[in-house]
């Protein structure tokens, strides 16, 4: 437990301090539960994201993906291992994916300040795009989605893998796929309660959020959500600190994270941003940003969570972006189409 929480507990009455220490004893029982749910989310992401294309490409380069859920390594030649076992780790991370000829997937950044320093440095200069997934939001799905975007635009992409704590479990256990706005409200309220009364449990799965520079925690030292969810907080922090990020691509619940993250940013920062959403239509609150939103005619989940908002583009697709499934949403072509539309508008106005 952190020094901040220890000092906060010490300052409480003996009875209150005893109640908080009770939660410390429960940590060894809670962590396996979080990992189990994260493992389930990895399996869910295999249905909704293009994990097959990612796995096949890397396998051709003698690289096997290890998620702890999928351990398949053909024995006929030596293999490198891409460790995405963070999918079962609830801490959260940022993973840079480059689907170029060398097929680079960098080790995860588990510290927000380290990522910000990298992105603002010379190595991070080509980085313009941030992606965030919905549904399971595991490392496996996040990398597969970012891979599709990177391959389409020919540039590296930063994939946000949100932290996963008790606050995330509560709405998910109650069917949190439906009603993204309700999901975020329940998640935020749960995290606030945990931060006040069970700070040790509130910190679990939120290491990435806790490392964000300038973040204001609760009085106990535990993190609280400022922009609706851990994912929204992560995206907001990156946009606020990395001016080179100018394109946001979100699928499903990830689109809502983008919507929340844009709020409270300075208007100058939102100017020129390109926002591409798939499977969920968000409110276009910032006229200085460019929105391209895609929703399938067969996407009942996306339609439900779009709250009657009208997208710029409709197609005969469903909610999944897995190319192995017929009538799935083609991520790459949509992002390329958005980029081309932006260039045409720029050329017409010049």
Per-residue pLDDT of the chain (350 residues; tens, 9 = 90+): 445 444 544 454 444 444 445 445 456 666 666 676 677 777 778 889 998 888 888 877 777 776 665 544 454 444 577 777 655 566 788 999 999 887 788 888 989 999 999 999 999 999 999 999 987 678 888 999 999 999 999 999 999 987 665 545 555 544 444 455 555 555 556 655 555 655 666 566 667 766 776 666 666 655 545 555 677 888 988 999 999 999 999 998 889 889 988 987 888 999 999 999 999 999 999 999 999 999 999 998 889 888 889 999 999 999 999 999 999 999 999 999 999 888 877 777 66
Residue 302 CA to residue 279 CA, distance in Å, equals 5
200 SS3 class = helix
Q: What is the pTM of this model?
A: 0.79
Residue 198 CA to residue 182 CA, distance in Å, equals 23
Residue 78 CA to residue 235 CA, distance in Å, equals 38
- Provide CB contacts within 8 A for 129, sequence distance 6+: 149, 150, 153, 155, 156, 157, 158, 245, 246, 247, 248, 249
Measured at the CA of 198, the angle between CA 16 and CA 35, to 5 degrees, comes to: 150
- Provide CB contacts within 8 A for 333, sequence distance 6+: 152
Beta strands (DSSP E) in 41-181 are 63-66, 80-83, 93-98, 104-105, 129-132, 157-161
**C-alpha atoms less than 13 angstroms from C-alpha of 318 in its C-beta half-sphere:** 11
**Count, residues in the chain:** 350
């Amino acid at each position: 437990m952190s020094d901040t929480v220890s000092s906060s507990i010490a300052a409480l009455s003996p009875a209150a301090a005893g109640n908080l220490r009770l939660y410390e004893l429960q940590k060894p029982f809670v962590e396996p539960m979080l990992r189990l749910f994260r493992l389930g989310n990895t399996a869910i992401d295999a249905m909704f994201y293009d994990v097959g294309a990612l796995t096949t490409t890397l396998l051709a380069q003698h690289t096997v993906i290890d998620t702890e859920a999928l351990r398949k390594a053909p024995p006929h030649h030596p293999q490198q291992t891409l460790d995405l076992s963070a999918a079962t780790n609830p801490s959260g991370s940022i993973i840079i994916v480059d689907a170029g000829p060398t097929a680079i997937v960098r080790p995860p950044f588990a510290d927000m300040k380290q990522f910000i320093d990298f992105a603002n440095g010379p190595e991070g200069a080509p980085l313009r795009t941030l992606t965030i997934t919905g549904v399971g939001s595991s490392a496996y799905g996040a990398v597969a989605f970012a891979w599709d975007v990177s391959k389409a635009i020919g540039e590296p992409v930063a994939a946000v893998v949100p932290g996963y704590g008790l606050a995330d479990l509560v709405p998910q256990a109650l069917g949190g796929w439906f009603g993204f706005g309700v999901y975020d409200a329940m998640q935020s309220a749960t995290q606030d309660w945990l931060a006040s009364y069970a700070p040790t449990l509130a910190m679990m799965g939120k290491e990435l959020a806790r490392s964000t520079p300038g973040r204001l925690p609760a009085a106990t030292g535990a993190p609280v959500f400022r922009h609706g969810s851990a994912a929204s907080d992560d995206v907001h922090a990156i946009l606020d600190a990395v001016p080179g990020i100018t394109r946001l691509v979100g699928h499903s619940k990830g689109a809502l994270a983008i919507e929340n993250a844009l709020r409270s940013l300075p208007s100058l920062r939102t100017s020129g941003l390109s926002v591409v959403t798939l499977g969920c239509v968000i409110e276009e609150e910032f006229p200085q940003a460019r929105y391209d939103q895609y929703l399938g005619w067969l996407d009942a989940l996306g339609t439900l969570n779009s709250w009657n908002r009208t997208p710029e583009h409709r197609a005969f697709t469903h909610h999944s972006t897995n190319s192995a499934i017929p009538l799935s949403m083609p991520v790459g072509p949509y992002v390329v189409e958005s980029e081309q539309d932006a260039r045409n508008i720029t050329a017409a106005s010049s």
